[in-house]
């Protein structure tokens, strides 16, 4: 399209009358336009094939191909505007010509001044359309660049979050897999209970930050193999408050969700959890979901104080804590989705990750009678 500023507009005049071709050629060239002429549709199509044309002015009644037929073929294959001329206006109505793609319908005879004014109008409209399309394209390119930049910024932000999570649990050799499993268990539960896409996206990235407050807990407590003393357990419970403080006053939805999760994932359905003793539906749903997923992953994974528990043992503990530690509806969803849970565990940690040959109860579970309650000791 020759619509750039200071670029000559190219016009093609198609008419079987030589006098018309010569007259329009002279008028348009004097006005500063580049003009080409053709005596019929076939010749016009050859010119269009080899020469960039902005505006085609064609007669309707010509030997061989009619002007309307030429118009339809030209509009299909080329980016042009067209003006149609005829001395037999009764044969074609204005609407038919315009619907065929013409920008103007010109009755013969017509004064040269009026013809030039009409050409100038079509040129102006074409230039405006060109400018609009160019602006739209530039806007689309800018939006695409902004979207790419936003995506890169988001990925950098999420990568920073992931690294912060890893730093908080650096001494745990299973941290990387734990983060992946936690996220996927939580996504599964969120989908099953019908959370919105945005809520699912938030829990995807926020759930791995549930224990970020452990970065402030002494190693002597974090890595202790035996049962924690009362003072040590009180200190351990502070990781929920430390995590909430780290994530406080966040603006991003993901970090707001992470703050809520860090603070509430150890609250219990019966109100006996920590740090605030919330009960039932007062515990945010994200905290309830993460609480179950975290417990299952801890039970089936190696920890300083325990070996992995077999699947059936972990499920018995979850069932025991239904309506005690855990939301009964969320526990039921988890248990009903156990095939998907196992598939995630095996995919992330290996196909034999739940085949535990040397199972033994931990000192902590023996001390708090968990083993006895579920019939394991």
pLDDT per position as a tens digit, 127-185: 999 899 889 889 888 888 888 888 887 777 677 776 777 666 665 555 568 888 989 99
Residue 301 confidence (pLDDT): 86
- Mean pLDDT value across residues 207-232: 88
- Mean pLDDT value across residues 342-364: 78
| Residue 326, in any domain of the structure | yes
Please indicate, yes or no, whether residues 192 and 327 belong to a single structural domain of this protein. Answer: yes
Residue 174 confidence (pLDDT): 55
Q: How many domains does the chain have?
A: 2
Tens-digit pLDDT profile for residues 260-293: 999 999 999 999 999 999 999 999 999 999 999 9
Tens-digit pLDDT profile for residues 111-142: 889 999 999 999 999 999 989 988 988 988 88
Residue 302 confidence (pLDDT): 81
**Whole-number Å distance between alpha carbons of 28 and 22:** 10
Arithmetic mean of pLDDT over the chain: 86
Please indicate, yes or no, whether residues 103 and 218 belong to a single structural domain of this protein. Answer: no
* CATH code of the domain containing 217: 1.10.3210.10
Neighbours of 7 (CB within 10 A): 11
Indicate the SS3 state at residue 14: strand
Q: Under a CB-based contact definition with an 8 Å cutoff, are residues 169 and 211 in contact?
A: yes
Domain range for 101:
10-136
| Cβ partners under 8 Å of residue 3, min gap 6 | 9, 54, 126, 127, 130, 131
Residue 109 confidence (pLDDT): 82
Tens-digit pLDDT profile for residues 192-209: 999 999 999 999 989 989
Please indicate, yes or no, whether residues 115 and 231 belong to a single structural domain of this protein. Answer: no
Residue 155 confidence (pLDDT): 77
Neighbours of 249 (CB within 10 A): 8
Please indicate, yes or no, whether residues 118 and 174 belong to a single structural domain of this protein. Answer: no
**Higher model confidence: residue 82 or residue 93?**
82
| Range list of β-strands (E), the chain | 10-14, 34-38, 55-59, 81-86, 104-107
Indicate the SS3 state at residue 312: helix
Give the pLDDT band of residue 377 (cuts 50, 70, 90): very low
| Cβ partners under 8 Å of residue 350, min gap 6 | none
| Residue 297, in any domain of the structure | yes
Tens-digit pLDDT profile for residues 20-79: 999 999 999 999 999 999 999 999 999 999 999 999 999 988 888 988 899 999 999 999
Angle separating helix axes 285-299 and 197-206, nearest 10 degrees: 40
Please indicate, yes or no, whether residues 128 and 176 belong to a single structural domain of this protein. Answer: no
Please indicate, yes or no, whether residues 127 and 227 belong to a single structural domain of this protein. Answer: no
Neighbours of 81 (CB within 10 A): 23
Residue 93 confidence (pLDDT): 64
Under DSSP, the state recorded for 267 is: -
Please indicate, yes or no, whether residues 217 and 275 belong to a single structural domain of this protein. Answer: yes
| Residue 366, in any domain of the structure | yes
Please indicate, yes or no, whether residues 197 and 318 belong to a single structural domain of this protein. Answer: yes
Cis peptide before 275 (omega within 30 of 0): yes
* CATH code of the domain containing 25: 3.40.50.2300
Helix (H) or strand (E) holding 175: helix 175-192
| Structure tokens, 40 | 């019929």
Indicate the SS3 state at residue 228: coil
| Residue 159, in any domain of the structure | no
Please indicate, yes or no, whether residues 177 and 129 belong to a single structural domain of this protein. Answer: no
| Residue 47, in any domain of the structure | yes
- Mean pLDDT value across residues 290-307: 88
Q: Considering 136, 156, 190, which residue would you say is the last residue of a domain?
A: 136
Residue 5 confidence (pLDDT): 44
Please indicate, yes or no, whether residues 127 and 176 belong to a single structural domain of this protein. Answer: no
| Residue 261, in any domain of the structure | yes
What is the total residue count of the chain?
Answer: 377
Please indicate, yes or no, whether residues 246 and 350 belong to a single structural domain of this protein. Answer: yes
Q: Under a CB-based contact definition with an 8 Å cutoff, are residues 338 and 318 in contact?
A: no
The candidate with the shortest Cα–Cα distance to 237, out of 259, 267, 208, 207, is 267
| Residue 49, in any domain of the structure | yes
Please tell me the number of Cα atoms within 13 Å of 85 on its side-chain side. Answer: 21
Please indicate, yes or no, whether residues 238 and 104 belong to a single structural domain of this protein. Answer: no
Report in angstroms the alpha-carbon separations of 119 from 83, 105, 106, 197: 8, 11, 10, 54
Under DSSP, the state recorded for 215 is: G
């Amino acid at each position: 399209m020759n619509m750039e500023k200071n670029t000559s507009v190219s016009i093609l005049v198609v008419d079987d009358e030589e006098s018309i071709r010569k007259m329009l050629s002279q008028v348009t060239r004097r006005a500063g336009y580049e003009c080409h002429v053709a005596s019929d549709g076939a010749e016009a199509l050859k010119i269009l094939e080899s020469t960039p044309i902005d505006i085609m002015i064609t007669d309707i009644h010509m030997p061989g191909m009619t002007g309307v037929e030429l118009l339809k073929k030209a509009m299909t294959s080329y980016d042009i505007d067209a003006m149609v001329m005829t001395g037999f206006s009764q044969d074609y109505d204005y609407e038919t010509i315009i619907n065929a793609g013409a920008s103007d319908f010109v009755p013969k005879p017509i004064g040269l001044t009026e013809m030039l004014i009409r050409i100038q109008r079509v040129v102006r409209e074409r230039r405006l359309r060109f400018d609009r399309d160019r602006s739209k394209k530039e806007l689309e390119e800018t939006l695409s660049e902004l979207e790419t930049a936003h995506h890169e910024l988001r990925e950098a932000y999420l990568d920073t979050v992931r690294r912060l999570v890893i730093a908080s649990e650096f001494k745990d050799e299973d941290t990387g897999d734990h983060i992946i499993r936690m996220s996927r268990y939580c996504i599964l539960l969120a989908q099953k209970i019908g959370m919105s896409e945005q809520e699912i996206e938030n829990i995807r990235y926020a759930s791995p930050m549930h224990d970020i407050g452990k970065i402030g807990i002494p190693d002597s407590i974090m890595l202790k193999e035996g049962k924690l003393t009362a003072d040590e357990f009180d200190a351990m419970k502070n990781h929920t408050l430390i995590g909430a403080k780290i994530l406080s006053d966040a603006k991003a939805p993901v970090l707001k969700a992470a703050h809520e999760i860090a603070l509430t994932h150890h609250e219990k359905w019966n109100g006996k959890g920590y740090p605030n003793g919330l009960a039932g539906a007062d515990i945010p749903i994200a905290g309830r979901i993460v609480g179950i997923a975290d417990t299952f992953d801890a039970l089936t994974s190696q920890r300083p104080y325990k070996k992995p528990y077999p699947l059936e043992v972990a499920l018995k503990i979850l069932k025991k804590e239904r309506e005690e530690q855990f939301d009964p509806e969320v526990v039921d969803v988890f248990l009903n989705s156990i095939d998907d849970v196992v598939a995630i565990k095996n995919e992330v940690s290996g196909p034999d990750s739940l085949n535990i040959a040397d199972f033994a109860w931990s000192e902590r579970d023996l001390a708090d009678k968990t083993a006895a309650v579920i019939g394991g000791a």
